[in-house]
Structures are given as C-alpha cells and as structure tokens.
Amino acid sequence: MAVTASESEESMLLDMVRDLVREKVAPRAAEIDAVGEFPWDMKELLAKQDILAMPFPEEYGGLGSSEVTILKTIEELAKACATTALILCVQQLGSLPILLVGTEEQKQRYIPRLATGEWLAAYALTEPGSGSDAGAMRTRAEKRGDTYVLNGVKHFITNAGIAHVNTVFAVTDPSAGTRGTSAFVVEADRPGFRMGKAENKMGIRGSQTGELVFEDCVIPAENLLGKEGDGFKIGLMTLDRTRPGIAAQALGIAQGALDFATDYAKQRVQFGKPIFENQAIQFMLADMDIKVEAARRLVYHVGELMDQGVPRFTRESAIAKTFASDIAMEVTNDAIQVLGGYGYMKEFPVERMMRDAKICQIYEGTNQIQRLVIARALGQK
C-alpha cells in the first residue's frame, strides 16, 4: 500500500517522539515520581518540539494533528512516564471547550499561547461533593452587569495553580438543574482566584493536582463560553473527545510494563535458564500482550472515528477508556509478578507504572460511570 504524505509525516513525528522518550523522558521518570513536583523541563521539552501544538488548528499556531496521531504520541510518552504524557492530555482537555464553542475573539486570545506551550490549561469541573454527579455542583457564577462573580471550590484539578487558562464550570441558574450550568474561562491572575490545597497522590506524582478557590472572583462577561446553561453539554462534549487520551495513557503504561517485564524475563536466570523459557511465564506475558493489543485496537478506533468526523462516538470513547484502563491495572500487576520481589522495589519501574495506572480507572469519568454510559447506549439500540 502506498504511503501518503500524512502517513509519512505521522511516522516521522512518532519516530521523533520515540527518540525523545528514550533520550530525555525515560531517564527522568523515576526522579519525577520520587520528587513529586511538576516537571517544568518536560513541559519545555514538549513545547520546544511542538508536541503541545498537536491538538490545535494551524490557523492558531498549532500543528493540526490527527486525533490518532495525538493518541499515539500520548501512548509513546506514557510508556516511559505517565506524568509527562498527562501534560499533553490536559493541555488538550483544558483548551478544548474554547475550540469547541469559543468565539473567534476567545480563540485568538488564548489558543496561540496554549499551542506554543507558553501557557498551560486546566479543566475545572470536579468539586468536593460533585465528582461523578456533576449535577451536584455548588460553585456559583452570578451575573452582575457586564461581569460574573464566582464563588466556590473546585477539587482534584490537574494543573491547579500552574495553569494560565482555566476552563471553569459553575451554576448560573440553580433552579434549572444541569441546564443551569455554564462554562467560563478564568485567567490565573484574576483577583479572588487562588489555589487551595495541593494533593499528595499515589501515582502521577509529578502532575500538580489541587483545589481552585473562588472568593468573589470577578471575570468579564465575555469570558463566558457558549451561552448560559450550555456548561453541562460543553463538559460532556469535551470529555467524549478527551477520554480517549486517557485510554492512550493507560495503553502506554501497559505497553511499557509489558516491554520491561519481557526484557527482564529474557535476562533473569533461575534453575539454569532464563525465566522466559518457563511456560508459566510465557503464558503470563502472552496474556498481557493479548490485552494490550486489544486495547490498542479500541483506542485507535475511536481516534479514527473522530478523524472521520463521525458525529457521535460517546459509546466507543467510553469502551476504549474503560477497557484500556482496566487492562493497564491487570498488566502492570502481572509485570510486578514476573519480576517477583524485584518488581515490588522502586529500583524497577513497574511498581510506579501500577501506581500510575490506577488513576486511569478514575479520572475523566470513573469506569463505573463509563459502564453506565455503555449500557445506556445498548438500551437505545
């Protein structure tokens, strides 16, 4: 089959990413996890190589990359360092509402500096009492003349305190349920807006997660995204499109663990031969490979649907995220078992990979919620 120019360009880009991961990202992964601080050097690396520009249209300074290419890039980064992969995931997540419903003025104001990586983005939906139940949101946005005044707390927000552009969801009409939620852009320097508690996490420890606090935070009415009451719809539209990125992150973690376990099994000698020659180990690795490859097909498939302009892919997005994150936990757990006692030690990366994999079953919609989404789609057939 002839290779098209776009396929050739994708192949070259992914080769560059693999070299970058091998030379720059992988050597930093353990330290990023140990220190638990945001890796600004990795952010600058991704920005310098235009990786952060991938999700953005060319007219705003981006690369306009296909969704499949973005997913493959996230996968490659996550093979070595889930935290570094998450920088790209969240740059897309926090910016996508602006791309989906923002005015031309809003896009011109924010997107070019997000595409260069000069600015980081955040997506602020979750609250202490409103996780899976987004309808229980309590953060309020009150219209006062040509401004909105925000009050409330957001919780478990990735890039809290370091994002320059925050997509924030707040209630504008408490009587309207989910139809009373609206979406806003809140810049980091707005008076009355600050970071609260920073979380100490089990995994993705280099990604800064924390609270966003709004105390009479005044923003101009022009920072409203779409119309009042559109917030819930915007949130769902965004997560449908970014959930596959978390699936790709989980896929990368699983592949990284499988690769390491396979290499270890070929080198580790017990009873006079490499443990890879033990059929029990071979079957474990084969099952891991089957799961990873099945996840890869699901992840790439939903990316292809998005690139084709298919109007609805909620079910496929939920399936990819659920399956990939579940197998990431299974595969990383099995990788530790292959390494035995060594797998339990921080000297080897598979225990970090298992800790990193767990969050993929939780954020951007828990897998229990995803199964409800899938079941609802079945019921509508």
Report whether pLDDT(6) > 80. Answer: no
Report whether pLDDT(3) > 60. Answer: no
At residue 300, the pLDDT reads: 98
Could you give the percent of the chain with pLDDT greater than 90? Answer: 94
Report whether pLDDT(132) > 90. Answer: no
H/E segment holding residue 250: helix 231-267
Per-residue pLDDT, averaged over 346-359, amounts to 98
Q: Any idea which residue has 């983005």 for tokens? A: 121
Q: What is the largest CA-CA distance in the chain?
A: 80
Of the candidates 253, 240, 357, 353, the residue with the CA atom closest to the CA atom of residue 296? 253
pLDDT bucket at 2, cuts 50 / 70 / 90: very low
The string of pLDDT tens digits covering residues 208-218 is 999 999 999 99
- Distance CA(100)–CA(196), nearest Å, equals 29
The string of pLDDT tens digits covering residues 91-117 is 999 999 999 999 999 999 999 999 999
Annotated active-site residue 364? The verdict is: yes
Is the CATH code 1.10.3720.10 the one for domain 121-229? Answer: no
Report whether pLDDT(220) > 50. Answer: yes
226-257 per-residue burial string, b: 16 or more CB within 10 A, e: under 16: bebbbbbbbbebbbbbbbbbbbbbbbbbbbbb
Report whether pLDDT(135) > 90. Answer: no
Residue 320 and residue 243 in contact, taking contact as beta carbons nearer than 8 Å: yes
Of the candidates 146, 188, 152, 156, the residue with the CA atom closest to the CA atom of residue 169? 152
Cα atoms found within 13 Å of the Cα of residue 240, Cβ hemisphere only: 18
At residue 4, the pLDDT reads: 46
pLDDT bucket at 7, cuts 50 / 70 / 90: confident
| Long-range contacts from 328-332, C-beta under 8 angstroms, 24+ separation | 328/250, 328/251, 328/253, 328/254, 328/257, 328/295, 328/357, 328/360, 329/354, 329/357, 329/358, 329/361, 330/288, 330/291, 331/254, 331/257, 331/258, 331/288, 331/291, 331/292, 332/253, 332/254, 332/257, 332/357
At residue 184, the pLDDT reads: 98
Q: Which residues are 124's β-sheet partners?
A: 168
φ and ψ at 38, to 5 degrees? -60, 130
**Per the CATH hierarchy, to which homologous superfamily does domain 5-115 belong?**
Acyl-CoA dehydrogenase/oxidase, N-terminal domain (1.10.540.10)
Of the candidates 106, 241, 257, 251, the residue with the CA atom closest to the CA atom of residue 167? 106
What single letter denotes the amino acid at residue 245? G
Domain boundaries, the chain: 5-115, 121-229, 232-379
Averaged pLDDT of the chain? 96
Of the candidates 162, 153, 86, the residue with the CA atom closest to the CA atom of residue 121? 162
Q: Which residues are 130's β-sheet partners?
A: 127
- Distance CA(297)–CA(286), nearest Å, equals 17
At residue 5, the pLDDT reads: 47
What are the structure tokens assigned to 192, written together?
């009355």
pLDDT bucket at 45, cuts 50 / 70 / 90: very high
Of the candidates 80, 46, 75, the residue with the CA atom closest to the CA atom of residue 63? 46
- Distance CA(116)–CA(48), nearest Å, equals 8
Q: Which of 76, 316, 351, 364 is catalytic?
A: 364
Report whether pLDDT(14) > 80. Answer: yes
pLDDT bucket at 276, cuts 50 / 70 / 90: very high
Prediction pTM value = 0.96
Report whether pLDDT(138) > 90. Answer: yes
Report whether pLDDT(379) > 90. Answer: yes
**Topology (CATH) of 232-379:** Butyryl-CoA Dehydrogenase, subunit A; domain 3 (1.20.140)
- N- to C-terminal Cα separation, the chain: 36
pLDDT bucket at 1, cuts 50 / 70 / 90: very low
The string of pLDDT tens digits covering residues 237-275 is 999 999 999 999 999 999 999 999 999 999 999 999 999
The string of pLDDT tens digits covering residues 163-201 is 999 999 999 999 998 999 999 999 999 999 999 999 999
pLDDT bucket at 146, cuts 50 / 70 / 90: very high
| Residue 25 DSSP class | I
